[in-house]
Structures are given as C-alpha cells and as structure tokens.
Structure 1
C-alpha cells in the first residue's frame, strides 16, 4: 500500500493513463539514473599525402646560345648623303677651276689690272680651296661610314669571300702606303659579295667600274699634290699661270673621280638592297669567325 491508500498496481495504472500527473517518488527513495549521453563521433584522422620526389638534377651542360649575327641593313639613306656630298665636292672643283682660270687671265697681263683685282683673284682662289677642303673632309667621313656598313652586310651575305675583317673598311684608309691598295681590296670583296650571281655561273663580276674609280682617285690625289706644291712655289706671273693650269687639270680629274665614286656608291647600294630585300636570293653560308 502507498501513502495515499492505493496499492502499487493502481498507482502505476494511474501514472500511465493519458493526462495524468506522474506520482512523485517518495522521500528517501533514489531516482533512477539518467541514461548516459551518447558520445559524439570522432573526426576521421587526416590522410597523409606522401611528399613528392625531388626533380632529378640534370648534369648535362646546356648548349651555348649563338651570338647574334650582324644586322643586314642596306645603307640607302646613307648613300643619298654620300652621293650629295660627292656632288658638292665636284661643284667646289668647278669653282676652283673657275678661280684658276681667272688667275691665268690676270697673269697674262698683270700690268693691266689693279691691285684690288689681283687681290680679289687670289681671294677667289683661296676661298674655293677652303670650300673644297671642307667638302672633301665631310664627304670622307660619310663615305667611310657607308663603306663600313656595306662591308658588314657583305660579311653576312658572303662571309667566304671576305679576306679581311670589317675593321679594315675604316683602318685601310688611314694606314700610310697601305691606303693606296687596302680600300680597293676591301671594296672588291664587298662588290663580289653583293653581286646577285657571283660563284653561280653568272656574269657581272667585272671590277671595271671599281678599277676606274680607284685609278682616277689615285691620279687625282697625286695631281692635287703636284698642283698645290707648284702653285705655292710660283713667284712670277708665268709660273703662277702655269701652276694655275696644272690646278685646272687636277680639278678636272677630281671631278671625273667624284662622278665615278657616285656611280660606285649607287651601284653597290642598289645591289645590296636587292639582295637583302630578297629580290635576289643570296647564298646561305655560316658566319665565319673573323676578327675586326
């Protein structure tokens, strides 16, 4: 029997009925232990990724990087400058020739002319000579630059035909005695390398234009020295007149040499321009190691 006067079975039935209030446990009785809380699942252990094997170290030596070859560039614009300067040299030669002819006229009858007229004749002669020297030196600078550029191109087009390094295109002009033939030798190699069919059974390998220009260049240089020394040493009207005639001859030779130089510059530049631009196929040969 319980404290309320009900048997234990009746009390259990009342507690299980719907809407009934559970009967509190009597004092001194122990409550049943709550069910143990379910443990949370453990996180999966991280999967270890094996370390990548180190890349094998190559023991082979990489091939050397070839040095860049010379840049092919036809000196078209530079040739225009050189041709223009050569024309200026020819014009100063004409001015010198006119001055020498004027001096000859004065010397034929010195007494018929005043001192002012004689002085003006000498001033005309000296001024034309100064203009010629300035034009010649300026032309020489541009010509050597153009000449070296064509030699660099020739070394790339046909290195097998170049007997000397590209530095000789500059140094050959300033070496005493050697400047009488070294530039012509370099020019011949450049000419052959620029020909469209050299060494392929074709024609056009003649050096007639080169030889004519170089011969006239040497003759004009010699004639200029002779004319200058004879005019400076003349001290009589007859001697001055004769020296002026020598100057006129030297100037005419120099004019022809300048015209031939213009033809050489134009012809060589055109040949290289056609070959570099692909209008004329060039022979593919490896660049030979040559010292400048």
Structure 2
C-alpha cells in the first residue's frame, strides 16, 4: 500500500478556475444569444436558423464543459488525498466516488457535495467557525437547480420551436444560463478558497499537543 504524500493543488486549481471561467463566459454568451433571438424577429420567424446557430454553440460549449469537468475532478482528487492526510477518518465515501459520484443515478444528487464538504472540513484550520460550508452549499444548490432546468429545456425547445411559446423557451434558456453562471463562479471561488486553506494548513505543519504537566 502506497504512503500518501501531500502534493500542492495550486497548479490544478489555476487550470480549474480558468476552465470554470470559460464555462461562465459561455453562459454569458448563451444569455446574449438568447436575448438577441428575442430582439431579432427574423430568427424567431425562422427557428431553423436559430437551431443551426445554437447547435454550433452547444458543441463548443460541450467541449468546454467536458474539459472543465475532467480538470475539476483531477483537482478534487488531489485535494482529497491531502485531506486524507490532514484527517484520515473524516471521509464518508471512498476516493473513486470523486469521479463516479457525478454519473451514478440518484446518488449524484448528494455524493459530490458530501465529498467536497468532507474535504473542506478536513482542510480547515482550528479557528472557530472556520469549517463553515456555506460556499459549498450555495454552489451545490445552484448546480442542482441548473441541472434540473437543463433536463426540461430540450423538450420545451422542441415543442416551442416556431410557435408563440418560443419566447418562453428562450427565457427558460436564459434562466438556466444564469444559474449555471452562478454555479461556475461559486465553484471557482470554492476551488481557490479550498486550495488556499490546504496551502496554509500544510505550511503550518502538524499540530503538536502540549505536554501534560508533571
């Protein structure tokens, strides 16, 4: 069995934040594209044109999202290994769930958050209130709601294309994009904060208990 060693997550955190920023930019572009559809009656009157444009954009956005997911999970794996050194008994789920937890039905509603919360708490200092997980909870809440909206959006788009309901479909797309934008920004803040916490804890060295009085 290999011995765990602390490894800096700073480099991976930069890559994860950069890709999360790209995801946020695609969300902004998606909002602008949707609003331009509402402003240009030609696109609404000719939904096929919009469908082609949106299809190209969705392909680019998908590549960005996949790249971001891979790097984010690689960063999560790195900080999880470090967290096991900081607190070996503080993790409810095994490391492979860092990847599998996003794909297994039903458990993907709470496993990723639980893993991140355990890492966060293991990485905090001993200062009172330092283990608060509000940032993690806000990120996960935005992510869950955005995914729920995304599951409904394609069916709405198919039924609403070329009908008076098309404007509602576009508005729905804007809502999803804003939620996803918030989730990406919160995730970036979480990555930077957790990386900083682990760096500070590693630099502080092991905690030494005081010797009992003779």
Larger relative contact order (C-alpha < 8 A, sep ≥ 6)?
2
Q: 1:218 aligns with which of 124, 127, 144?
A: 144
The residue aligned with 1:74 is 8
Note if contact 1:76-1:269 (Cα within 8 Å) is conserved in structure 2.
Answer: yes
- Tell me, in whole angstroms, the C-alpha distance in 2 between the residues paired with 1:254 and 1:68: 38
Q: Distance in 2 between matches of 1:243 and 1:142?
A: 32
2:89 is aligned to: 160
Rate the CA distance shift 1:71–1:106 in 2: closer, same or farther, 3 A.
same
| Moved segments of 4+, more than 6 Å | none
| Deviations 1:219-263 (CA, angstroms, capped at 9, x unpaired) | 111112222221122233422211011001110111011000001
On the 8 A contact 2:23/2:184 being kept in 1, the answer is: yes
Q: 1:169 to 1:110 in 2, by over 3 A?
A: closer
Q: Which position in structure 1 is the counterpart of 2:211?
A: none
TM-score by length of 2: 0.89
What is the 5 A alignment of 1:176-255? 176-197=105-126, 202-255=128-181
After superposition, the Cα gap between the structure-2 partners of 1:269 and 1:238, relative to the gap in structure 1 and judged at 3 Å, is same
- TM-score normalized by the length of structure 1: 0.66
Residues in 2 aligned to 1:164 and 1:121: alpha-carbon distance in whole angstroms: 44
Matching of residue 274 in structure 1 with residue 200 in structure 2: yes
Residues of 1 paired with 2:113 and 2:164: CA distance? Answer: 39
For residues 170-181 of structure 1, the aligned pairs below 5 Å read: 170-181=99-110
Structure with bigger helix share is 2
TM-aligned CA distance change 1:110 to 1:120, over 3 Å: closer
Alpha-carbon distance between aligned partners in 2 of 1:131 and 1:109, rounded to the nearest angstrom? 21
Aligned-residue offset at 1:171: 2.1
Q: Structure 1, residues 195-226: CA drift from partner, whole Å, max 9, x if none? A: 011xxx63211110000000000011111222
What is the Cα deviation at residue 95 of structure 1? 1.4
> Structure 1's 240 and 107: CA in aligned 2 closer, same or farther, altered over 3 A?
farther
What aligned pairs does 1:121-160 form with structure 2 within 5 A after superposition?
121-160=50-89
Does structure 2 conserve the Cα–Cα contact (< 8 Å) formed by 1:95 and 1:128? Answer: no
Tell whether 2:30 aligns with 1:96.
Answer: yes
Gaps of 5+ in 1: 1-66, 285-292
Distance 2:151 2:100 in 1: 23
Task: Indicate if the aligned counterparts of 2:83 and 2:122 stay in contact, CA closer than 8 A.
Answer: yes
Q: How many pairs were matched up?
A: 209
Where does the alignment leave 5 or more consecutive residues of structure 2 unmatched? 209-214
> d(CA) in 2 for partners of 1:239 and 1:145?
42
CA–CA distance in 1 between the matches of 2:150 and 2:194?
27
RMSD: 2.2
